[in-house]
């Protein structure tokens, strides 16, 4: 890490705050659709409309040195990310925004666990305890046995798992191709993967529905861009704690616009998960290796 990067924490925090606002806008807009369009179709249209942002990446995609191995890895990542996106959109139609946001914090925790299996990572006792704490936070949010679980909760657990596999696959080939190719291929493969799912449940969207989904694509793209600015300005150990603000904003928006009462168990569980993720990220920084992604790196 260079000195300039380490000396700009304020800039990094600012861009991470903007990133969180962008992704909260994504969830709010998807929630605003109100299930008028099936989840798979909403996800497909979001990615299809978002392909316009790939135009600047087209030269990089055309000149990328693609091997049969890379095609397989990109295809496999597309499959898992497609599943994750479809389940995320489904969860948004079933459970409150705050619960979607809080359970989404599990993505980096899953990545850390899967890195042990697939990348040979070794976990010290302190990181194992952090993982246990994060899973405890998830139980606090879900409270099985104390309330009826919605299929949306199960979908979010599956979403986090699918996105974690997608991230690990990206980590495997990210050193072989440019970031533009990684992003571009993900957008293309997920759009293709969602197409048959959307076709199976297709209903014709209104112009206002399309406008909302285009807004989703715009905010998602902007969020990923500002996230890269945050990472360029400050270490992830500085920017990661800021992700908790997204849960705060989700609670506020859910209460103000969607009549979703604030749930103290969801806030407490989300805080516990974020604290565990921050600790894991800090430990990886101390050990000078990074496996765990930022919460936002596994977003739709």
What confidence score (pLDDT) does residue 36 get?
Answer: 86
pLDDT at 40 over 50: yes
What's the pTM? Answer: 0.85
Query: Mapped to the 3 state alphabet, what secondary structure does 19-43 carry?
Result: HHHHHHHHHHHHHHCCCCCCHHHHH
pLDDT top residue among 132 and 34: 132
**CA 209 to CA 49: how far, in whole Å?**
12
pLDDT at 3 over 70: no
| DSSP label of 56 | G
What confidence score (pLDDT) does residue 287 get?
Answer: 65
Share of the chain above pLDDT 70, in %: 92
pLDDT, one tens digit per residue, over 233-245 is 777 777 778 888 8
pLDDT, one tens digit per residue, over 124-178 is 788 889 889 998 999 999 998 788 889 999 999 999 999 999 888 888 877 787 7
**Phi/psi of residue 58, each to 5°?**
-55, -45
- Residue 288 Rama label (left phi>0; alpha psi -120 to 50; beta): left
C-alpha closest to that of 293 among 115, 139, 128: 115
Which tokens hold the place of 289? 């290796």
What confidence score (pLDDT) does residue 296 get?
Answer: 60
The number of angstroms, rounded, from the C-alpha of 19 to the middle of its chain's C-alpha atoms is 12
| Number of compact structural domains in the chain | 1
Helices (H), the chain: 3-6, 9-32, 39-50, 58-63, 68-92, 97-104, 107-118, 125-142, 151-173, 179-200, 207-233, 236-239, 244-257, 264-286
**CA 209 to CA 33: how far, in whole Å?**
7
pLDDT band at residue 299, thresholds of 50, 70 and 90?
low
pLDDT at 201 over 50: yes
pLDDT, one tens digit per residue, over 248-278 is 889 999 998 888 998 999 999 999 998 988 8
3-class secondary structure, 144: strand
On average, the pLDDT of the chain sits at 85
Determine the average pLDDT of the residues in 63-87. 91
**CA 47 to CA 49: how far, in whole Å?**
5
Span between the terminal Cα atoms of the chain, in Å: 28
What confidence score (pLDDT) does residue 5 get?
Answer: 42
**CA 213 to CA 29: how far, in whole Å?**
8
What confidence score (pLDDT) does residue 1 get?
Answer: 43
Are 152 and 104 in contact by the 8 Å Cβ rule? The answer is: no
**CA 259 to CA 37: how far, in whole Å?**
21
**CA 19 to CA 219: how far, in whole Å?**
9
- The strand pairing partners of 144, in sequence order, are 147
Domain span at 81: 3-298
pLDDT top residue among 283 and 277: 277
Are 75 and 103 in contact by the 8 Å Cβ rule? The answer is: no
């Amino acid at each position: 890490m260079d000195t300039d990067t380490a000396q700009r924490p304020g800039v990094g925090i600012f861009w991470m705050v903007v990133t969180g606002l962008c992704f909260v806008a994504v969830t709010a807009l998807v929630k605003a659709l109100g299930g008028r369009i099936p989840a798979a179709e909403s996800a497909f249209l979001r990615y299809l409309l978002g392909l316009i942002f790939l135009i600047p990446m087209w030269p990089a995609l055309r000149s990328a040195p693609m091997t049969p191995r890379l095609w397989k890895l990109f295809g496999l990542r597309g499959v898992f990310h497609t599943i994750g996106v479809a389940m995320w959109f489904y969860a948004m139609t079933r459970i409150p925004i705050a619960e979607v946001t809080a359970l989404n914090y599990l993505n980096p925790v899953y990545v850390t666990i899967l890195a042990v299996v697939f990348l040979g990572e070794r976990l010290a006792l302190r990181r194992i305890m952090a993982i246990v704490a994060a899973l405890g936070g998830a139980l606090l949010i879900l409270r099985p046995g104390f309330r009826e679980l919605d299929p949306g909760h199960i979908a979010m657990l599956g979403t986090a798992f699918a996105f974690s596999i997608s991230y690990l696959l990206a980590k495997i080939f990210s050193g072989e191709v440019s970031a533009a190719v990684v992003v571009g291929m993900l957008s293309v493969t997920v759009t293709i993967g969602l197409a048959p799912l959307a076709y199976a449940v297709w209903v014709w969207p209104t112009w206002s529905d399309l406008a909302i989904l285009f807004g989703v694509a715009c905010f998602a793209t902007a969020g990923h861009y500002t996230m890269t600015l945050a990472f360029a300005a400050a270490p992830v150990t500085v920017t990661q704690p800021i992700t908790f603000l997204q849960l705060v904003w989700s609670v506020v928006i859910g209460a103000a616009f969607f009549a979703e009462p604030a749930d103290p168990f969801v806030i407490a569980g989300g805080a516990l998960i974020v604290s565990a993720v921050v600790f894991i990220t800090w430990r990886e920084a101390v050990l000078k290796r990074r496996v765990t992604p930022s919460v936002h790196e596994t977003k739709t």
